[in-house]
Structure 1
Amino acid sequence: MSTSLKSIIIILYLVITSCTSYHPLLKYNYTNDSRLINPEIPLTIKYFGDTKFQDLEKVDKNYIKTILRPYNQLELKNLLAYAKTNVNPEYETLLFLSNQKEGNDSLRLLSVDSTRLSLIYKLQKDDQSLFMLMRAMNDNKGLKSMLKDGADIMNSVSFRIDSTNALSYADVFNQVRKDINYISATKTLIDAPVSDSLQQQWMQFQYLATINSFMQNNPTQDSLIQQYERKRIDKQSKMLSKLDNTKVFYGDEVIDKILSEAKHTRVVMVNENHWYPKHRIFTTSLLKGLKEIGYTHLALEALTNPLQASKINEKRPYPTLNSGYYIQEAYFAHLVRKASALGFKLVSYENQDPQINRELGQAQQLMEILEDPKAKVLVHAGIDHILESPTENGKRMATHFKEMSAIDPLSINQVEFVGGSSHELSLIPFELIKGQTKKINDYYLINQIKPSLEKVYPEKDFQITATTTPKSNPALVKFYNQEEYSIYKENAVPILNIYSTSDRLTINLPRGMYKVVIYYPDGKQNSHSFNTN
C-alpha cells in the first residue's frame, strides 16, 4: 500500500471517528438541579443535589473515548448523559441507553473495579437497557459511598412520565438559564414538550417575558407585554378615570416629590416587575438626587450574595453575569454601574439562611445596614416584597422591616399599574385609589419610560453608530464596554442587547470603545470592535 493511500485512509478514519455522535435522543434532555428528564424516551432520573450535568458538546470527545476504552459493553453512540459531583465523594457518571431485549426486567450491578475505582450498573426494562458507569474522581479513593449513591440513582429511574415527574417549564428554564443567546433560549422554551395546563402556560409566559426583556427592539417581547397588559389596562382605566388629577404628580414633579419625602426617612423602597427594564431605569433616575440628600446604600434583592456585592464595591465598579440572574439585563447593570459611580455602597440583602422565612430574612439583612446611624438606604425589590401591610399570604419583607425597625419607609409601587396615562411618569398617592381597606404602599407609579441609554446617561455625549450584521436573521447583537469585555469576555454584562432583523443596525451610543458580539438562533456568532470617540 502506498504512503499516499495510507494517509488518505488515516484521514478518513479520523474524520469518521471524530464525527461519531452520541445518543440521538440526547437533544431532548432537560435537567433541573439534580433531575434528568427526557420526555421522548420517556425517562426520568434523580441524581444527588451536588451533581452538575455537563454539556457533551463542550466536553472533549477524546476524553470520553479514553474513559470507555476498558468497557466493551458501553458504546459512545449510546451515551445519553454525563454528570459530575462537585463535593465529596467526587465521581463522574455516564449514562447509556440502548434498545435491546436481554432477559427479564432487572437492576444489576455488573462490575465493581477496585483498581479503576469504577462501577457499572445495568437496568433492563422491557426492550430498553440503561447502563450507568461511575468513576471516582480527584481525592475519592473508595467505592463505598459510590455504591450507595449508584444504587439510589438507579432505583430512581422511571421509564414513565406522569403528573408526578412530568417535564415542567421550570425544568426547561433551568436548562436555558445560563444561555446568553436569548434567541435560542426562547426557542427552547417555546418548543419544549410540556403538557398544557393553565399553570404551565403562566409559567411559560413568565420565563419567556423575562428572557425576552433582555433584548431591546424585540417583537416577541412586545407581543408578550401587550398580552399581559391588555386586560389590566382595561380594568385599571376605569379606576384611574375617577382620580382627582390635581393630586397626582406628573413628569419631573415625580422625582421632586419623592426626593422631598425621602428627606424624612432613612429608607426608600421601590419595586419592579422582572420583565420591565423601565422599572430599573426609574430607580436609576432617583440615584443622583438621593445621594445629594445623604443616601449611602443601594440594596438589591437581585444581587446573588454579599461576595458579589463586595466585588462591585471593592474590585470593579460594574457587575458581571455572576452578580445575579436579573442583572444580566442591560439596564439593571446600568443601575449598578451608575450607583457605584455615584459612591453608593451596593448591598445584597437576599436571605441566605434556608431555615428562616425569606421575607423575614430579607428584613433582617436590611436591619444590619441600619446599625450604622448614618446609613440611608434605597431598596430595589421584586414585586410584592415592599408591601407594608400583611396580605392573605402573610407578611412581606417591608412589613417585617417596619415592625423590627420602627422606621416607616417611603414605598413606591410601580408594578400595580401598567398603563392608562399619557405621561411618562405618574405618581399617585395611595389614598386616591378608592376601595382599599389598608395602606400597603405610599405611592403607585405609572411608568411609561421608553428604555434608552440617553435616559440612563443624560450627561454623556452620544454618537450615532452603524454596525453591519450578516443577512442571516434574526440576530442578537450584544454591545459590550471594551474594557469590561477584555477582562471578563462573555461573562461581562453588555451595555445593550439588541434584537435585529436587519443587515445594518444604527444605534446611539455614548462615545467610547465597544466590542460587538452577534449571536444567531443556531448558536453561531461573530464579533468585532469599534470606537465612537
Structure 2
Amino acid sequence: MKLLYSLTLLFLSMAGYGQENPYWFTDDIKKKVADSTQSQSWRSQMGATFYSISGQYNTALKSWDMTFGRVKKLSTADSLRFTKLIPVNAKDYILKRSVSEQIIIINEAHHNASHRTFASSLLQGLYDNGYRYLGLETLASDSVNTTKFAALNSGYYSKEPEFGNFIYNALKIGFKLFPYEAEGNNKQREIGEANNIFDFMQKNKDGKYFIYCGYQHAYEGVHKSWEKTMAGRLSDLTGINPFTIDQTQFSEKSNPKYNEPLLRLVNNTIPVVLKDGNQAIYNGEDKELYTDIKIIHPITKYIKGRPDWMLTKNRKWYKIPVCEVSEYPVLIFAYRKGEYEQKGIPADIIELKTSKDSRYLILDKGEYEIVIKNKEYKVINRFEKTIR
C-alpha cells in the first residue's frame, strides 16, 4: 500500500518535471533528486524514473533499490519444488496462447526499460494472430496514430527511448493505439481505466486487444485497496477473462542479493515462464492477487557497455566517431530522420563523460540524425547516419 501511494505522489510530482528537456546528465539528475525536504522514497523513485528516461538502465535500478531493495530467502522445501519446474520460452508460450485469447494485459515496472523491449518483441506475432489494438496507460492522446511516432507530448513514460521504439514498431506493424488513463486514485482510477478501455472496445471491434500497463493494474483477484484492479474490472465489463502477464516480480534488481530467489535458481538466458510436470504454468505464490503467468527475465549482461537485451535481431551497433565529439561530457541522441525537429523520442541515448567511455549506439536499420549536446544542453554537432 505504501508503495502504491508513493507511486501516485510520484506521478503527480513528475507532471512539473522535464516538459521541455527530459533527458539529463547523470550528475544533473543527482542534483535534481537531492532535495532533503523530500522523502527517501520520493528521491529513489524520481531518480529511477529520470535515469530510465535518460537511458541509464542500471543506474535506474540502483536508484529504485535504494528504497525498495529487499533480501529474500527461499525455504528448502520451496527450493526443491522450484527446481522441478521446467523453463519454457516466454515469447513462444505467449504467442501460442494468444491464438485463443481475446484480451492480453501485460505490465511493466516504469523504471525498467527492458520490459518495453520484451513487449515490443511480441507485437508482430500478436498482429499475425489477430490483435489490432494496443492500449497504453501512459498515452496522453491518440495523435500517434496520425504522426506515426511518439513525441515529447505523447505521454510521460513514453519519453524513454525503448518506449518510443515500442510505439514506433506498433504503428509500423499496423496497430491502432489508444490511451485509457483515468483521473482519481486507487479504486476510482481502476474503475475509470477499465471503463475507458471498454468504451474503446465498443467502438473498435475489428480485432483483439493488447493492453500495456504498470504494476498491479494487470493483476486479477482481490486487491486490499482497490478491491478489483483495472484487469478485474475490465473482465466484469466485457465478460471476457483476460490473459494477464506480470513482468515485474521476477526481473533483476541492481544487486543480486535483492533478486527473487527463484530468479537465482532458474539462471535463464532468455525470458521464460515455468511449467510443472502437469503442464501448469507457475504464476506465483499469492492466490488472492495474481496474474495468469509470471515472466522470469534473465540477468542482464553488458556488451560494449550496453544491455544485451537491447540487441534484438534487427538492431546494429553504431560507434560514434571520435572526430564527431569536440568536448566532454556529452549526451548523444539518435533520432529517426525527420523526428528531432518535431520533438520526437530518440531511438537511443548514451552519455559520454570522457573520450574513453564506450561510444556505441544500438539502432534498428534505417536513417537517423545524430544529435550531440554538451553540458549546457546546447547542440554542438548534428549529422546523418544510415544503419544498414
Name the TM-score class by shorter chain: 0.7 to 0.9
Contact 2:101 2:243 in 1 (8 A): yes
Instruction: Give the distance between the partners of 2:53 and 2:149, measured in 1 at CA.
Output: 18
Where do 1:121-520 residues align within 5 Å? 173-178=14-19, 179-183=21-25, 185-192=28-35, 194-195=36-37, 200-216=39-55, 220-221=59-60, 223-224=62-63, 227=66, 230-232=69-71, 234-235=72-73, 241-245=79-83, 247-250=85-88, 253-305=89-141, 309=142, 311-313=143-145, 315-351=146-182, 357-371=188-202, 372-394=204-226, 395-419=228-252, 420=263, 421-423=266-268, 424-428=270-274, 432=282, 435-438=285-288, 440-448=290-298, 450=300, 451=307, 455-456=311-312, 458-459=313-314, 462=316, 464-468=318-322, 469-473=325-329, 475-485=330-340, 487-488=341-342, 491-503=343-355, 505-520=359-374
> Which one-letter code corresponds to 1:503 in the other structure?
S
Contact 2:131 2:207 in 1 (8 A): yes
> Which one-letter code corresponds to 1:275 in the other structure?
H
Following TM superposition, by how much is the alpha carbon of 1:353 offset from its aligned partner in structure 2, in angstroms?
8.0
Cα 1:262–1:237 change in 2 (3 A) is: farther
> Which one-letter code corresponds to 1:444 in the other structure?
K
1:464 is paired with a residue whose SS is strand
Instruction: Give the distance between the partners of 2:291 and 2:12, measured in 1 at CA.
Output: 35
Instruction: Give the distance between the partners of 2:98 and 2:366, measured in 1 at CA.
Output: 35
Instruction: Give the distance between the partners of 1:369 and 1:170, measured in 2 at CA.
Output: 24
Following TM superposition, by how much is the alpha carbon of 1:521 offset from its aligned partner in structure 2, in angstroms?
4.0
Cα-to-partner distance string for 1:221-267 (whole Å, 9 max, x where unaligned): 353256467525x44697973444554433xx211211222222210
> Match for residue 78 of structure 1?
none
Contact 2:108 2:213 in 1 (8 A): yes
Cα 1:481–1:239 change in 2 (3 A) is: farther
Instruction: Give the distance between the partners of 1:321 and 1:219, measured in 2 at CA.
Output: 23
Cα-to-partner distance string for 1:382-412 (whole Å, 9 max, x where unaligned): 1111111121112210111111111111111
> Which one-letter code corresponds to 2:22 in the other structure?
I
Cα-to-partner distance string for 1:138-169 (whole Å, 9 max, x where unaligned): xxxxxxxxxxxxxxxxxxxxxxxxxxxxxx98
> Which one-letter code corresponds to 1:323 in the other structure?
S
Contact 1:320 1:492 in 2 (8 A): yes
Cα-to-partner distance string for 1:13-63 (whole Å, 9 max, x where unaligned): xxxxxxxxxxxxxxxxxxxxxxxxxxxxxxxxxxxxxxxxxxxxxxxxxxx
Q: Which has the higher contact order (CA 8 A, sep 6+)?
A: 2
Cα-to-partner distance string for 1:169-202 (whole Å, 9 max, x where unaligned): 889755533233422651432343x336xxx101
Instruction: Give the distance between the partners of 2:178 and 2:11, measured in 1 at CA.
Output: 28
Following TM superposition, by how much is the alpha carbon of 1:492 offset from its aligned partner in structure 2, in angstroms?
1.4
Instruction: Give the distance between the partners of 2:285 and 2:22, measured in 1 at CA.
Output: 44
Give unpaired runs (5+ residues) of structure 1. 1-167
> What TM-score do the two structures reach when normalised by structure 2?
0.79
Cα 1:336–1:416 change in 2 (3 A) is: same
Instruction: Give the distance between the partners of 1:366 and 1:518, measured in 2 at CA.
Output: 40
Contact 2:48 2:61 in 1 (8 A): no
Cα 1:343–1:217 change in 2 (3 A) is: same
Query: Paired residues, what number?
Result: 348
Larger Rg: 1
Cα-to-partner distance string for 1:403-424 (whole Å, 9 max, x where unaligned): 1111111111111223424212
Cα 1:219–1:282 change in 2 (3 A) is: closer
> Match for residue 527 of structure 1?
381
Contact 1:278 1:447 in 2 (8 A): no
Q: Superposition RMSD on alpha carbons, in Å?
A: 3.2
Identical pairs, percent: 23
Give unpaired runs (5+ residues) of structure 2. 1-8, 253-262, 301-306
Contact 2:350 2:361 in 1 (8 A): no
